[in-house]
Structure 1
Amino acid sequence: MEGNRKATALTASLLGIGFMAAIDEIVFHQVLAWHHFVETDNSALALASDGLLHSLELIALVSGAAIMLRLHEVGRQARGYRGAGFLLGLGGFQLFDGIVDHKILGLHQVRYVDNLWLYDLGWNAAGLMLLMIGYALLRRAQRGEALSQRDTTTR
């Protein structure tokens, strides 16, 4: 039975999004205390916004894990698409956060310092790098499938 490429990649992306949100929430919001999801003078609102992000991250992780386990149970995980989707989710979240949340919506900055552009550059470059690696893995999985199909039709 052939795996479901789209479901595998999308579910792995959901896991990647949840995982990167968890890293952001734990490392940058809690451990380093660089920012809240919504920066405001009202500390209760800032903490509540972090709680909302944490809740959404947990929903993404639990949902993604349940769907991925179900795909595994029914033998529908597509080989090569889990890692690609996971990295696309990681990078997509990072880049979305860096461009939309930080710059367009202005919800918060990476860190409140004088040379903010260095942090923005590092943040967005990391997201872009993850996206590029995920895309390369996705293309590799697609090429591997094409070669496999060609081999079975020539036999």
Structure 2
Amino acid sequence: MTSDNMINNNNTISRSKNLWSGFLFGLGLAAFIDEMVFHQLLRWHHFYDKSTTDIGLVSDGLFHAFSWFATIGSLFMFADLRRRQSVLMTRWVGGVLLGAGVFQLYDGIIQHKLMRIHQIRYVENVVPYDLVWNIIAIIMIVLGGLLVFRTRKEYIT
């Protein structure tokens, strides 16, 4: 393998690792904020609302653990990128927005509407809550996708 091929391969790996580190961080951060704000502070719902409150609290704990595993794992990947001086911050932020948006859209469509394991809030007219939740998710996905697309050929010097 020529040195140019090794450089290109290392740049491809670094771009991919920046994206995945950001994606996992965004996923974990959005899950953490969802769990902290909507589950604990506002008490609008639990991760799993089709059973008792005790089961709902246990499901919240497991959900919280998942969010932290994703967040901590992403930070180990980010630390490795920093050690190698391979951080592409714009690409990483794009990954964060994509991860957060994908989590939120999945939660809003799959968990809220298709699986019905919980609703964002139990009120008579949930539509405004659903619209805001899903529109914010789509905005994050579009912005993240634009940043990732813009940095698709960015190289580590």
Bin the TM-score by the shorter chain. Answer: 0.7 to 0.9
Q: Percent identity?
A: 37
Which stretch of structure 1 is more off in the superposition, 3-12 or 94-103? 3-12
Aligned AA for 1:109? Q
Residues 33-60 of structure 1 deviation map (CA, whole Å, 9 limit, x = unaligned):
0000000341110000000100000101
Helix, strand or coil at the partner of 2:152: helix
Q: 1:151 maps to what in 2?
A: none
Aligned AA for 1:89? G
Q: Give the counterpart of 2:121 among 111, 114, 132.
A: 111
Q: 2:3 maps to what in 1?
A: none
2:76, 2:148 → 1: CA distance?
22
Q: Give the counterpart of 1:30 among 31, 40, 64.
A: 40
Structure 2, unaligned runs of 5 or more:
1-6
CA RMSD after TM alignment: 1.5
Is 1:120–2:130 an aligned residue pair? yes
Is 1:61–2:71 an aligned residue pair? yes
Q: Give the counterpart of 1:42 among 20, 33, 52.
A: 52
Residues 75-118 of structure 1 deviation map (CA, whole Å, 9 limit, x = unaligned):
23335311110100110100010011111111100000111111
1:139, 1:62 → 2: CA distance?
26
Q: What displacement does 1:136 show?
A: 1.1
Q: 2:97 maps to what in 1?
A: 87
1:48, 1:37 → 2: CA distance?
9
Structure 1, unaligned runs of 5 or more:
149-155
TM-score, with length taken from structure 2: 0.87
After the TM superposition, which segments of 4 or more aligned residues of structure 1 sit over 2 Å from their partners?
A: 75-80
2:40, 2:99 → 1: CA distance?
22
Aligned AA for 1:34? W
Aligned residues: 145
